[in-house]
Structures are given as C-alpha cells and as structure tokens.
Chain A
Amino acid sequence: MHGVCFMIEVNNIRTSFSTGFIRRRVVRAVDGVSFQVEEDETLGLVGESGCGKTTLGRSILRLIEPDEGRVVVNGTDITALSRSDLRRFRPRMQMIFQDAYASLNPRMRVRESVAEPLKIHRMGDRAAIDRRVRELVEEVGLNEEHLNRRPYELSGGQNQRVVLARVLALRPEFIVADEPTSALDVSVQAQILNLIRDLGQEYHMSCLYISHDLGVIRAISNRVAVMLEGRIVEIGKTADVLDRPSHPYTRRLVAVPVRETPEPLESPVFPAAPAMVEERPGHWVEETTA
C-alpha cells in the first residue's frame, strides 16, 4: 500500500445500451463517471429516475460490462481481471437490490439462500456453515423459525434482511446498495436503513448507497454524489452539498419536498465533458455554461 489508499476508485466509467432492432439506438446510460470511496465511508448517489444510477452501480461491480473506464477495489483493478479471477474476487464486493423479494430464488428456503455464498466459496464444512448461517440470521434480526421459510412467506422487510445476511456471509469490503429501502413501508424503511448502517460499521464496509430520497441520503451517507443524465454533476460532504448546492440541478433537487422526483431539467448541452471545479475543500461541481 502506498500514499492515500481509497477503498474504491472509479475512473471514467462509460456504459451504453443499444436498443431497437431495425433502428439501433445507443443509450449512454453512464457517461464518464469518476469518484472515490474511502474505507468505512458511505457515498450516497442521488439523481432522478433513469439518470443511470443502477447502471453505474452494476457497472462498477462488472455485473454489466462497462464500455470503458477503470475500477480499482482496494488496490485491485477489477476491470483488468479475467472472468475466473473476477469470480474469485466477487466475494469482496456485493450488491443489494431494491426489490428484496425478487432478489431471492422463490424456490429456496432462507437457510439455503444464506448458506449459498458459503457453499459456493467452500467456506467451511456443513456444521460450520450451519453455525454461521444461524449467526448471520440472528445478526440481521431474524430467528430460527424463519430458517425454513421461502421468500413468499416473509414480508418485504424480512426478505431484505435475508438478502443482507446472504451478502454479509462473504464479509465484503464494498457494497452497492441500490435503493434497498425504497420498496418498503415507511416504518420498515428506518429499521432496514439502521441495520445496513450498523452492520456496515461492524463489518467495516465501504458503501455506495443509491437513493432518490434525500432524507435517507442525509441519514446514511458521509458524502453524496449528484447524478444527472449519466454524469456526476456535484459531489462533496453530504451536509455541504445538500445545504449549499451549487449546480442548478442540485438546487432544484434540494428545493422539492423529499420523496418526490423533480421534473427533468431541460438538458443542458455540453459541447465536451465539462470540467469539475472545487467549490470548497472536497466539494466538486461540474462547470455549467449558464
């Protein structure tokens, strides 16, 4: 290790989808994104629906192959790994999805779902795995009697706990949480949010937390990045960015009541990738032509 070591270093990631059969259209979902996440830090990612948050999260983990760019996780350039090396590296970085129910195989019991990562990576014999499964299930606030249930026999919040247990089994260093609470009841949201935060600290995980709920972002993230049309337009300390927004889009985002997505802004046309300027220490804003 040398110098300042970031847990995650994302460098100029671009991901595009081609759609349409006759007239192929290319959608630039992520268009040159760079940021870093420090050890034990949670970086929030906000932006309106369709701006590319999910695509960015998945591209970083190479669940979607990015077209371009580099991702370094704790010193390993994962964009350079071969497929089999990547598979061996995967336990160190995990992902949680918005729809907890869809994140679990409907035919698998909780016990099997939580044991699966341990079995895939041969982490212990049967007895050890069984012990660890019980431990994990308890850690996420479930108990013995849930072990034999299937996803449809659990609530959304309970399913999200199972997903968390499954992911924690591998003791990841980095986790991408893609709106893990937005599909849940308001009362349950807070519980799951706290659980993720507490376990995140306990397991020393760095986290990229995606949400369009500014309240959630305030509660969980140390820093926040604002995304607009595939680019990060502002990034900095959470309070700093949300209380003293500089980019016109962030200003609109902050002005609207929480839990409502703002009207899309008429897209500012940038001739080339605009540069980021440092407004205050650690608070970067994309230069606007306006």
Chain B
Amino acid sequence: MAKRTVLAASIGIILAYCAVALLAPVIAPYDPHAITGAPLCPPDPEHLLGTNDLAQDIFSRLIWGTRATLLLGFIGAAVTVVIGTAVGIVSGYYGGMVDEAVMRLIDVAMTIPIFPLLLILTTFFRPGIYITAVLMGLLGSFQGVRVIRSQVLSLAVADFVTGTKALGAGDGYIMARHILPNVLPLAGVKFVISAQHFMLIGIGLGFLGIGDPSVVDWGQMINRASQNGAMILGLWWWLIPPGLAVTLISLALAWLGYACEDEINPRLRLMRV
C-alpha cells in the first residue's frame, strides 16, 4: 500500500470514530442502558448485534462505547503532550541544575510501570473516566518530557537560537517563538502515539472490571461477555465487535503516528538538529 493511502485511510478512520462518538445519540437505535427486549438475543433486524445478558442492545452500546475510548485516549494524550512539551522545553533550554534535577526525578518515575500503578489507583479510588484520563496523562508525561527535551537540547544550541539571543531576545521569547514551533511536529507525533497507548490501557482497565461503571466502554463489554460465557456459547456478536472496534482505531493511530514520524524525520535532518 502506498504511504499516502495508508495516511489517508488512517485519518479517515480516526475522523469516522470521532463522528460516531459525537453523534452517538443519533446513530444508536436504543439507549445503551435500556432494557430493549429479551436477554441474549442473537442478531436480528431489530437488534443488529443482538442483546446482552441484561437485554441491552449491543450495537447501541458499541456506538456509545466509542466515546469512552476516545475520551480516555485524547484527554490523556493532551495532558501528556502539554506537560511533556512545557517541562521538556524549559528543562532542555535552561539545562544545568534544574535540568539535572528534572531528569533524575524522571529516571526514578519511569521505573514505575504505568499499568499496574493505574490498576491500584483505580481499584482503590474508583475515579471517574476524566480523572482516570488525567492520571494516565500525568503518568505518561514523564516519557513525553524526555522525548521533547532531547530535541530541545539540540535546538537550544542551534545557531539561530544563539543568534536570536545575540539580538537581545529574552529566554521566554526564544522558547515561545523559536523552540516551541520547532518541537510541535514531534509533540504531534507524541500525541498520536500516546492516544493509542492510553486507549488500549483504558480497554485493559475496563476488561479487568475496574473501569468507570457509569460509562459504557468496550473493555467492560468484553469483560461482561467473557464472564457470561460468550466464548463458550459462541455468542460472537457480543465479543468480537468491541474487540474489532478497538483494534481498528488502534491500528489507525499507529499508522498515523508512523507516517508522521517518517514525515518529520527528514525535516529534522535537514534542520541539522
């Protein structure tokens, strides 16, 4: 497949998911929490993907589940990228003691595995979906700081930055007008990759039964399906769709991330940073 086709397809898929998430109330035929007939119905024209053990329409739940996954992924990624970029720029630009302190702190923090820590935190505190997203973003931002900082280190000694300093520009001005625009492409890639990562973590939490119970999410759907023997009973319409939905968005984000990385790498080389 040509690169451009892959890029277009992945963007198309991501946009489609966003549209579904926004228009869930319009697209979904039923309220995802409502009892809509007999439990454990196989697919029929009334219930495109049948019903679950609580007689809720699986297709409607699949549609509404898009929201939870995208929310977790995008809010988490936004937190990661904002913190990563801000701290990465300041730390990399000033260098010295502050940078040293930040990096040692991150070295320590990075040894903590995100998923188990999230498991513990969510099990004990049962935070809502928003808090969980922010928490993921915070934990992921350590990696973000590293990625951004390493690029800022080389930008900070680039001749155009030294030259701008020589003009009499202040540090804040240089960071905002010269460093930030040059790390934005990298921050964009980091956003896409983090979003994919956090969506999968979100699914994992839901699957383990510690997601936010007030929202419909694919992980919890898969969890419920397998706990009710969907696998053994061959109720594929209950188990497979949420799994496929996750896989597709995750692939699309990964493709987009790789495509963007390819795109900015030669540019970075050209910039000699």
**Footprint of B on A, CB under 8 Å?**
58, 61, 63, 87-91, 93-95, 97, 99, 101-107, 116-117, 120-121, 152, 163, 166, 170
Contact = CB atoms under 8 A, between A and B. Distances in A.
Interface residues of B, number: 20
A101 B271 CA distance: 8
A9 B173 CA distance: 31
A90 B182 contact: no
A257 B28 CA distance: 82
B26 interface: no
A250 B43 CA distance: 92
Contact of B166 (A95, A102, A104): A95
A199 to B, nearest CB: 17
Interface centre among A101, A105, A116 (most CB of B within 10 A): A105
B178 A87 contact: no
B76 to A, nearest CB: 28
Contacts of A170: 167-168
Nearest to A97: B159
15 contacts: A58-B162, A63-B165, A63-B166, A90-B168, A94-B167, A95-B166, A97-B162, A103-B159, A103-B163, A105-B160, A105-B182, A106-B160, A116-B167, A163-B163, A166-B163
A91 B181 CA distance: 25
B168 A87 contact: yes
Given A106-B182, A120-B173, A152-B270, A90 B160 contact: no
B167 A91 contact: yes
B166 A107 contact: no
B164 interface: yes
A214 B264 CA distance: 41
Contact of A120 (B168, B181, B270): B168
Contacts of B271: 102, 106
Contacts of A163: 163
B15 interface: no
B170 interface: yes
Interface string B155-184: 000111011111111100100001001100
Given A63-B162, A90-B167, A102-B272, 20 more contacts: A58-B162, A61-B166, A63-B165, A63-B166, A87-B168, A88-B168, A90-B166, A90-B168, A91-B168, A97-B159, A97-B162, A97-B163, A102-B160, A105-B182, A106-B160, A106-B270, A116-B164, A116-B169, A117-B167, A170-B168
Nearest to A103: B159
B189 to A, nearest CB: 17
Interface in B224-273: 267, 270-272
B153 to A, nearest CB: 15
A152 B168 CA distance: 25
A279 to B, nearest CB: 35
B190 to A, nearest CB: 18
> Taking each of A93, A99, A101, A102, which has the highest tally of chain B beta carbons within 10 Å of its own beta carbon?
A102
A103 B165 CA distance: 12
Interface string B135-170: 000000000000000000000001110111111111
A105 B168 contact: no
A61 to B, nearest CB: 6
Contact of B167 (A101, A102, A107, A120): A120
A42 B49 CA distance: 83
A207 B217 CA distance: 69
Nearest to A102: B159
Nearest to B161: A105
Contacts of A91: 167-168
Contacts of B167: 90-91, 94, 116-117, 120, 166, 170
A15 to B, nearest CB: 15
B100 to A, nearest CB: 11
A227 B168 CA distance: 29
A271 to B, nearest CB: 36
Contact of A103 (B160, B182, B270): B160
